Amino acid sequence: MFRSIQGKLVVVYLLLIVVAMELASLYLLRELERSYIGKVQDDLHQSAQLLAGQLSNFVVNDRLDPEAVERYMERWPGEVLVLDANGVVIGATARVANRDELLGLKFSHDDVSPAFFGNTNRRIGREGTQRMAYEAVPITEAGNVIGVIYLKDSLEEAYARLQDLRDILLVATLVAMASTVVLGIALARTITGPIRELTRTAALIAGGNFDQQIPVRSSDEIGRLAEMFNRMSRQLKEMMSEIQEEKSQAEAILTHMADGLMALNGVGRIIRLNPAAQRMFQVRELEALGRRPEELAADSGLEEALEEAWQQSAPVTRQIRLKDRVLQAYITPLKSDGRHPGTVIVFHDITEWERLESLRREFVANVSHELKTPLTTIKSYVETLLDGAAEDPEVRDRFLRVVDGETERMARLVRDLLRLTQMDEGRLRWNIGPQDIGALVAETVGRLRLQVDRKRLSVQWEVDPATPPALCDYDKIQQVVTNLLANAIDFTPNGGQIRITVAPDGPKAVRVTIADTGIGIPAEDLPRVFERFYRVDKARSRSMGGTGLGLSIAKQIVELSGGTIAIASEVNRGTTVTFTLPAATAEGVSTA
């Protein structure tokens, strides 16, 4: 067979295919080897440049600070040594073998010698059976070399990829050889062209150009091989595009998600911290990388929760408390072939929920207490009346007046609660319009004249003639003034003074001030006086029939009216409450 032309052609074409595929493989492997190794070296160089920039922050008197460099290098990734100008090791990363023994010793190696003269030196070599990339980069300050960064990284992963590609190319070569033997001389002339195209395209694809396609001129083995190559090129392009898109989507989700996310490597070091988590822990991602989570949240319970999750190899949910936040942590250890390559922690901020839950509990407790006191009083008086006290008209009338007063107190509490609920839910009806605040104050003082005269108080009010009408609901604001004035009357001793002023507050607001000479409020209680059910002197307030809701209602009405309210007080000197309302200017009236 091999003496015939057909046999010789088969052999020739077979050899051609082998040679062509080998050339393509060698070229592809060489280019990929150069690309992979170049990528590792470029990464080393970029890491060195970044580290050099960071270490410039530790220069003192044109020299590197050894202690600062040593502390900083403990959390830097990779295998890196930092030498001072004398070649002494002043910093090393945690992955450096014999790290503690190297620190403080002079490091002499041919790799670092050029760097002390200002030159970057890179080399490919071996450490035992490991192929490694080395690089030494000078650290300069004002043109002088003050130190050297010496880095190294393994090339075994790159060579493993090259070996996989060799196997793929070997299979492709065997397929081509089998096709040549089957087709014979008749197909010999159709082989050389596609092979050349295959070689050219393989080189382009090796360079990352996945848009290249091999022209398919036949439906035979070579044609199908070209189609497979084209399909592989398209699939690679689609896969790379999908990977990039998924990476972008995942990055967008991590960046914009409301919950915080922290990713740890297999040794419990932080490798990812999304913006929400950065805000929660008040740290930038670059500062957190390489650190342990408990360093960001000391004494929060996070360290114990992580230990539990790792020991159980199961998700754990824990509530952790930071200085100003309460977080719900969902800890999930990752599993792969029986190993734990890392851990993902999702933090949900429940600070506001905790605050609202605390307010709810406090609210329920206060309402229960406020209702329990009058109900207990009513029950005891009624039982006394039923036991025979009703036979004495004087005792009966006195007891019934007490029952009536306690009933009115409960009714007032229910009305106040209903009013607050309506305002919270936006169901309160408003009748907004221009209102004469001076007349409103005068009417309110008149309503409370009996209480004023009973305590022999002096109530004065002054209305600035330049005060414009306020844009508000008359009845709602009258309730505000009534609540504030009633408080002033209740907490001002007999013979005291109350002064009310109404004046413009700039061109667009009306200011109302109610000042008394009462007992005042301690400074530590001022921030909470507008809270519901909060009383400075609980016993005295209850004895006066107060519900603890007056100031809260006043504040909510004023703010819903578009105004502001503030309080100032001094113990035994008096209290001043000031609130503002929007003026009913021509623009304000038309808007209303």
Least confident of 187-191, 480-484, 515-519: 187-191
Where do we find the tokens 């230990």? Answer: 307
| Counted domains in the chain | 5
> What is the three-class DSSP state of 239?
helix
Cα–Cα distance list, 471 to 379, 464, 485, 588 (Å)? 46, 17, 21, 7
Helix (H) or strand (E) holding 435: strand 432-435
In a domain, 33, yes or no: no
Q: With respect to residue 38, please indicate whether it lies within any of the assigned structural domains.
A: no
**What is the C-alpha to C-alpha distance for residues 115 and 84, in angstroms, rounded to an integer?**
11
Asked whether the CA dihedral 181, 184, 185, 189 is positive or negative, the reply is negative
CATH number at residue 373: 1.10.287.130
CA distance 492 to 484: 12
Tens digit of pLDDT for each residue in 416-429? 666 666 666 666 78
Per the DSSP assignment, residues forming a β-bridge with 106 are 88
Pick from 115, 137, 155: which residue ends a domain? Answer: 155
| Statement to judge: residues 71 and 104 lie in one domain | yes
**266 pLDDT higher than 60:** yes
Side chain identity at residue 258, one-letter code = A
C-beta of residue 90 within 8 angstroms of C-beta of residue 70: yes
Domain membership of residue 166 (yes or no) is yes
My answer on whether 439 and 580 are in the same domain is yes
Pairing of strands 458-463, 497-504: parallel
- CB neighbour list of residue 558: distance below 8 Å, 6 or more residues apart: 480, 564, 565, 579, 580, 581
CATH number, domain of 78, equals: 3.30.450.20
Asked if residue 368 belongs to a domain, the reply is: yes
Same domain for 148 and 181: no
DSSP string, 351-371: HHHHHHHHHHHHHHHHHHHHH
> Does 507 have pLDDT greater than 70?
yes
d(CA 16, CA 72): 59
Which is it for strands 509-516 and 574-582: parallel, antiparallel or unpaired? Answer: antiparallel
Which of 288, 323, 347 terminates a domain? The answer is 347
pLDDT band at residue 465 under the 50/70/90 scheme: very high
Percentage of the chain with pLDDT > 90?
14
* Comparison of pLDDT for 389 and 477, the residue scoring more: 477
Looking at the fold, whether 576 and 441 belong to one and the same domain comes out as yes
pLDDT of residue 472: 93
In a domain, 411, yes or no: yes
Q: Look at the pTM and tell me if it is higher than 0.75.
A: no
- Same domain? For 418 and 438 the reply is no
- Separation of alpha carbons 537 and 121, rounded Å: 78
Using the predicted structure, report yes or no on whether residue 548 has a pLDDT greater than 50: yes
More confident residue, 536 or 462: 462
Q: pLDDT value at position 4?
A: 47
Based on the fold, state whether residues 103 and 245 are members of the same structural domain. no
> Can you give the CATH number for the domain in which 584 is found?
3.30.565.10
5 pLDDT higher than 50? no
Q: How far is CA 496 from the centre of its chain?
A: 54
Q: Is 535 helix (H, G, I), strand (E, B) or coil?
A: coil
Q: What is the pLDDT of residue 438?
A: 92
In a domain, 37, yes or no: no
Query: For residues 551 and 529, is the Cβ–Cβ distance under 8 A?
Result: yes
* pLDDT class of 574 with cuts at 50, 70, 90: very high
| pLDDT value, residue 500 | 95
Does the pLDDT of residue 541 top 60, yes or no?
no
With respect to residue 39, please indicate whether it lies within any of the assigned structural domains: no
Contact 269, 290 (CB under 8 A): yes
Q: Could you give the dihedral angle defined by the CA atoms of residues 467, 561, 508 and 504, in that order, rounded to the nearest 10 degrees? A: 30
Q: How much is the pLDDT for 586?
A: 44
Domain holding 401, by residue range, is 354-424
d(CA 126, CA 132): 5
Residues in contact with 332: Cβ distance below 8 Å, sequence separation at least 6, in sequence order: 309, 315, 343, 344, 345, 346
Instruction: Give the model's confidence band at 563: pLDDT under 50 very low, under 70 low, under 90 confident, else very high.
Output: very high
Q: Which of 241, 176, 175 is nearest to 208 (CA)?
A: 241
Nearest to 266 by CA among 314, 335, 337: 335
Helix ranges (DSSP H) in 56-155: 66-73, 99-102
* Residues 413, 553 contacting (CB under 8 angstroms): no
| Pair (435, 562) in one structural domain | yes
Q: In what order do the strands lie in the sheet with 89-92?
A: 89-92, 79-84, 144-154, 130-141, 121-127
Q: Does 35 fall in a domain?
A: no
Per-residue DSSP letters for 478-504?
Answer: HHHHHHHHHHHHHTS-TT-EEEEEEEE
> Is 23 found in the same domain as 67?
no
Question: Quick one: 337 and 398 in the same domain?
Answer: no
Across 448-455, average pLDDT? 88
Same domain as 435, residue 419: no
Pairwise CA distance, residues 579 & 513, whole Å: 7
Whole-number Å distance between alpha carbons of 117 and 113: 7
Q: Check whether residue 65 and residue 145 sit in a common domain.
A: yes
Residue finishing a domain among 155, 177, 197: 155
The verdict on 324 and 469 lying in the same domain is no
**pLDDT score for 60:** 73
- Which of these ranges, 135-139, 235-239, 290-294, 505-509, has the smallest mean pLDDT? 235-239
Q: What are the pLDDT digits (tens) for 132-180?
A: 888 888 988 877 888 888 888 888 888 888 788 878 877 877 777 777 6
- At 79, the amino acid letter reads E
Structure-block tokens of residue 410: 């409960």
d(CA 396, CA 534): 34
